[in-house]
Amino acid sequence: MKKHILTLFCLSLIFVTNTSCDNDDEGTTPEPVITATNYIYEGDLRGFYLTTEIAQLNADIDIWNQVPENDPGYEEAQENIEIANLQIGEYESEMSTIPTPDSAFLIPKPILPPVPTPSPCVCYYLYNSIENIVLLPGTDQISISIYSYNDESNIVNTDSNTPIEDIPGSKNNGRYQPFTFEQPGFVGEAFIVVQSDSDSYTIHVNFEKLP
């Protein structure tokens, strides 16, 4: 009888222990891979590049519009205006197709520092806590280089050998590429060179320290 009671007690102890472990596992929430302060979004970089290109084209159009009709360069100026307007239309069309990261991948929008008014540079402002780039839908390969505006020293460099990872739980199988700052804590102006399987471009950025 005593052996029977002892056996029942041991079995109940095992059951309670296993149940407790299961509850612990269920209650544990894994740390998110992508947070609002640890990534940049390829779509945001591309959108900023297109915005600056449109601004430059509009500035060029203003200059060409000042060429008088009796000027030998008038016809060329009008042709340039037509080409520029077509290019602006293409850029604006592309911008309208760039999804936001929260809608495309179910991740938080990146938190960006406020832009000073007036801004000391035409820059895309970022916190230096970033350590990933989230890819646009359809991008299969990407590499980024970040180098200092002042001395052109290297800050970040990835290439085709840097692994591209899946974002856990993301819609449409979102992907990201991790990177490491070679100058940890870098603050100030820099250039980001983005090279993907579809395009290559450079944008001017300004890194600030995360509060």
How far is it, in rounded angstroms, from Cα 84 to Cα 177?
34
Q: Please report whether residue 10 resides in a domain.
A: no
Q: Please report whether residue 7 resides in a domain.
A: no
pLDDT tens figures, 96-141: 999 999 999 999 999 999 999 988 899 999 999 999 999 999 999 9
Confidence of residue 93 (pLDDT cuts 50, 70, 90): very high
Say whether pLDDT at 157 is over 90: yes
Q: Please report whether residue 8 resides in a domain.
A: no
Q: Please report whether residue 15 resides in a domain.
A: no
What pLDDT score does 52 carry? 97
Write the single-letter amino acid at 21. C
Q: Please report whether residue 110 resides in a domain.
A: yes
What pLDDT score does 207 carry? 98
Q: Please report whether residue 31 resides in a domain.
A: no
Question: Phi/psi class of residue 67: alpha, beta or left (left: φ > 0; alpha: ψ in -120 to 50)?
Answer: beta
Q: Please report whether residue 199 resides in a domain.
A: yes
How much is the mean pLDDT over the chain?
89
Confidence of residue 186 (pLDDT cuts 50, 70, 90): very high
Q: Please report whether residue 130 resides in a domain.
A: yes
pLDDT tens figures, 16-65: 444 444 444 556 667 889 999 999 999 999 999 999 999 999 999 999 99
Q: In b/e form, how buried is each residue of 142-181, taking b as 16+ CB within 10 angstroms?
A: bbbbbbbeeeeeebbebeeeeebeebeebeeebbbbebeb
Domain enclosing residue 78, as ranges: 39-208
- Number of domains observed in the structure of the chain: 1
Q: Report pTM.
A: 0.84
> Dihedrals φ, ψ of 157, to 5°?
-150, 120
